[in-house]
Amino acid sequence: MFSGSWSDRLGHFLSMVKFSHTVFAFPFALMGVVLASLETGASPGVGQLFWICIAMVGARSCAMGLNRVLDARFDAQNPRTASREIPAGVISVKEGWLFTLGSGLVFLFAAWMLNPLCLKIAPFILGLFVLYTLAKRFTALAHVILGICLGLAPIAAWIALRGDLGWPVVALGLAVLFWVAGFDIFFALQDRDFDASAGLHSIPVKLGPEKSIQLVRVFHGLMIFLLWLVGMGTALGGIYYLGVLVVIGLLVYEHSLVKPNDYSKMDKAFFNMNGYISVTIFAFTLIDALI
């Protein structure tokens, strides 16, 4: 167990949980911090920001670790995922579990360091991670459950700073939910044939490519509407709305890359564009709040 240098092993674990994809949800968590600060009129403390970041990293690593460990059997059978670390034998199942449990403990400790309400809801969030990983075995709504998991990021950041809930951050959480569910449906198009043969459920399996893409358009339309509501419920102004317009342009371009039965540009649509979207809306939000 844990053979090889520590730097190599760390690289394998970071690759297993796709650590670079933290850029999808992390900016929205920080956006929750900005919204909470606008409501209170006070900047968060360095300690609060630190533990929010640690909680975010621990939660996401735990969620991805669960997905990789519990889905290792399916990953090994799917040509697209057979080279992942656990199916390829680079990381053992036992090592995967240790990393996942350790990440979960880091998340719980960070929640404890923030405030009592964060600690109370942390086990519920961990339960959602398990539910998401198992969901594809019995429902096509796994994409929505994933959206809920990531949509909780800005809400949890708000709670960490304020200890309560406000409707602007709930609207932001719902915007993230529909955004994530939409791009996850896009990504699942690649595995439609395998999922169907393995008895796994997804929107593409249930609806087919064309109707799935139409549903993603609806989801992403709802995302934009909810982002607009966020601006209406806060002190954000023109710069924020300009950011929303940029996000609309990025979404339109993302949708132009995905066509029924042509997924050759899926990596560009999924990895590049969604990273740009999350960073863009956070950057415009932060600039607006500061100016």
Q: Which residues pair with 259 in a beta bridge?
A: 262
- Check residue 23 and give its pLDDT: 65
Residues of the chain with pLDDT under 50: 2
Q: What does each C-alpha distance from 180 to 163, 174, 216 come to in angstroms?
A: 25, 10, 10
Q: What does each C-alpha distance from 257 to 50, 175, 188, 208, 277 come to in angstroms?
A: 37, 22, 15, 18, 15
DSSP labels, 224-282: HHHHHHHHHTSS--HHHHHHHHHHHHHHHHHHHH-BTTB-TTHHIIIIIIHHHHHHHHH
Could you tell me if residue 169 is inside a domain? yes
pTM of the predicted model as reported, rounded to 2 decimal places = 0.91
Could you tell me if residue 142 is inside a domain? yes
185: its two tokens? 């449906």
Here the CATH number for the domain that contains residue 113 is 1.10.357.140
- Check residue 138 and give its pLDDT: 95
Could you tell me if residue 189 is inside a domain? yes
What are the two backbone dihedrals, phi and then psi, of residue 262, each rounded to the nearest 5 degrees? -140, 100
Q: What does each C-alpha distance from 140 to 5, 55, 145, 221, 259 come to in angstroms?
A: 41, 29, 10, 21, 21
43: its two tokens? 């900047």
Q: Residue 223 and residue 217: Cα distance in Å, rounded?
A: 10
183: its two tokens? 């791009």
Could you tell me if residue 1 is inside a domain? no
As for how many domains the chain has, the answer is 1
CB 34 within 8 Å of CB 285? yes
Nearest to 156 by CA among 289, 274, 48: 48
Domain holding 156, by residue range, is: 6-16+24-290
